[in-house]
Structure 1
Amino acid sequence: MSAVDLPLVVGVDGSEPSLRAVDWAADEAAMRGVPLRLVYASLWERYEGTSLAQDVVGSPSEQVRAEDIVAAAARRAARRQAGVKITTDVLAEEPEYALVRASRDASALVMGTRGRSGMVEMLLGSVSLTVAAYAHCPVVVLRGSHDNQARSATHGRIVVGVGDKAAGSAAVRFALREAELRGVELEAVRAWRCPAHETTDHPLLAGEPARLHEERAVETLQEALTDAPEHVRLRPHAVEGHPRRVLLAASHGADLLVVGARRHPEHLGLQLGRVAHGVLHHAACPVVVVPEQP
């Protein structure tokens, strides 16, 4: 199967946030012309509990089989986008392992925000964090809506965070493709800071270190966007501040926030940097984490 034929995979568990992810992914699959694969890992509730949506059961007290959950999700996707090919899988294993493995044969993997009880939509669940950290394809985590309704792209703007290694960035390539596909503007953001030890008290030299750091940030943006298609509208933006704070501010009024996460196979622990971890928890729009090579 070629890359253009790979399905869009959605992790479902019967909750309202996961069904919102189904809605969003159905729209994406229709736009991309790819199949939609709905995956339910039956041990999900062991980790975060399952608050089932009314689309799945008549009352919350009913016992529902895994097959009922994926069938309800498939019906919902078909109602939303009748022309999309839909397949379902029920896997009797831990969700993070099942979804990371499914990511090997996916164009992207979509998840709703999953938190415990009152923490839903505030902090990300452990499954979402683990999948975003180890997946082999871009992972979309739907943030920015608190009423469990999928939002169409209305802002006409995608934001991508540009890191230190701008040349060949998978996150930038992904963001450029998304902007081209949607016909929207791409805002490429590079945060910069002037270390305290580089400042000077001399009034004629006070701005020099800051200016040099800003110029380097602008050069990094130019390098990152060298191969951008001519018809994609670009907005390079060098901003002074901490990268996480800068990107969180940029997420307001954006349809997507794209960040890269470098994979270090020799390192133990979550393969997410502080910036990706922070925006996954607090961004005001859907976040895409794109694997980067070390």
Structure 2
Amino acid sequence: MATSDPVKVGVDGSKASIRAALWAADEAMARDARLDLVYVVDPSRIDDVDAAMAAARHALHRAWQAVTDSGKHVKLETEILQGDPAIELADTARHASLICVGHKGTNDSSPQPRGATSEALVRMAPGAVAVVRRRHKRPPTCHRWIVVVLDESAESHPVLQAALDEAALREAPLLALTSWSTSSPRRTADDTPPDDIRATVDRRLRDTRDGTAAVPVCALPMPSDVTTILQQSAGIDQLLVIGAGRTDVIEQLQEEGARDALRKTDCSILIVRAPKPLERRAFGSPTEHRNEKQ
């Protein structure tokens, strides 16, 4: 899991954003990438620009210090943007391998509902988005499930790979919620394409039964409502990986039932989008934005 694109995290001074920064630091280390701490000043919600900029620098310093004090060895940079937080974070995500935010922030109050920025970012970001929910630190020996939602679309291949990477990073087992039955693996023909998702999952399940899997995998049929899994499985308390094309599942997670099920958990959500070809940039051309370094 290596890339030159940075991992970015939205920082707003809240405890949730500090925890998101720590979570994002692990992602940056796994990718051998830089971690960018990004604060967005919303001119529509402030009266004093100078005070807002000072608050932004203070919040970034706190997040920087938290990551440094954690002992996570990752290169850090900071960035202050101005505009609507969700729009600006979505735009800066174009230059990132992953954009992370806390599940709630300092501006989650009237007129905006709780988690409004994270929900908007999930809809708008052009790449992978992580909505991080961490209430407290868990012992390093307490490994929880990584859960991935799979169907037979082409998008499921990068989604499964992302989930396997996350499971390997956290030394956790993987639970696949599939749109097909895995109770009796189908016969695989000689001409089955190597990227057939059902065949790939069957191989992972077989390797797990044989004891040769680097990441243990099990599978269950995907319920009609993902809230059912969240409510019935207390062990699913680490990360839920979903493809951006599964808007039905993403919408379920934003409903009150799923919110209630997630409220007392540490279950973060990773939305995966299939990578697009990188745009070529002329040698020596300037970057589109500058970072404010500490």
Per the TM superposition, whether the score is higher than 0.5 is yes
Tell whether 2:173 aligns with 1:185: yes
In 2: Cα distance, 1:140 partner to 1:258 partner: 9
SS at match of 2:165: helix
Contact 2:4–2:33 (8 Å) recurs in 1: yes
Tell whether 2:8 aligns with 1:26: no
In 2: Cα distance, 1:111 partner to 1:40 partner: 11
Deviation by residue 1:68-89 (Cα, 9 ceiling, x = unmatched)? 2212221221111352111000
Residue 233 of structure 1: how far off its partner (Å) = 1.3
Residue 226 of structure 1: how far off its partner (Å) = 5.8
Residue 10 of structure 1: how far off its partner (Å) = 0.5
In 1: Cα distance, 2:131 partner to 2:215 partner: 24
Contact 2:100–2:130 (8 Å) recurs in 1: yes
Tell whether 2:160 aligns with 1:172: yes
> Once superposed, what is the RMSD of the aligned Cα atoms?
3.6
* Equivalent residue runs for 1:76-95 within 5 Å: 76-95=66-85
Decide whether aligned partners of structure 1 residues 105 and 8 sit closer, same or farther in structure 2, where only a CA change above 3 A counts. same
Residue 29 of structure 1: how far off its partner (Å) = 2.7
Q: TM-score, normalised by structure 2?
A: 0.69
* Equivalent residue runs for 1:246-285 within 5 Å: 246-249=228-231, 252-254=234-236, 255-262=238-245, 273-279=247-253, 282=259, 283=262, 284=265, 285=267
In 2: Cα distance, 1:173 partner to 1:106 partner: 18
Partner of 2:10: 11
Partner of 2:116: 126
Partner of 1:289: 271
Q: What amino acid does structure 1 have at the position aligned with 2:5?
A: L
Decide whether aligned partners of structure 1 residues 256 and 168 sit closer, same or farther in structure 2, where only a CA change above 3 A counts. closer
SS at match of 2:244: strand
In 2: Cα distance, 1:30 partner to 1:108 partner: 12
Contact 2:149–2:242 (8 Å) recurs in 1: yes
SS at match of 1:5: coil
Show structure 2 runs of 5+ residues with no match.
187-195, 208-212, 276-294
In 1: Cα distance, 2:38 partner to 2:235 partner: 30
Q: What amino acid does structure 2 have at the position aligned with 1:88?
A: T
Contact 1:24–1:151 (8 Å) recurs in 2: no
Residue 97 of structure 1: how far off its partner (Å) = 1.8
Residue 63 of structure 1: how far off its partner (Å) = 9.3
Q: Say which of 116, 137, 140 aligns to 2:130.
A: 140
Once structures 1 and 2 are overlaid, which stretch shifts more, 169-178 or 109-118? 109-118
Show structure 1 runs of 5+ residues with no match.
48-60, 193-213, 263-271
* Equivalent residue runs for 1:195-214 within 5 Å: 214=181
Decide whether aligned partners of structure 1 residues 21 and 118 sit closer, same or farther in structure 2, where only a CA change above 3 A counts. farther
Decide whether aligned partners of structure 1 residues 222 and 246 sit closer, same or farther in structure 2, where only a CA change above 3 A counts. farther
Residue 119 of structure 1: how far off its partner (Å) = 11
Contact 2:159–2:272 (8 Å) recurs in 1: yes
Contact 2:9–2:36 (8 Å) recurs in 1: yes
In 1: Cα distance, 2:221 partner to 2:37 partner: 39
In 1: Cα distance, 2:83 partner to 2:94 partner: 17
Once structures 1 and 2 are overlaid, which stretch shifts more, 161-170 or 8-17? 161-170
Tell whether 2:217 aligns with 1:237: no
In 2: Cα distance, 1:5 partner to 1:250 partner: 39
Q: What amino acid does structure 2 have at the position aligned with 1:162?
A: L
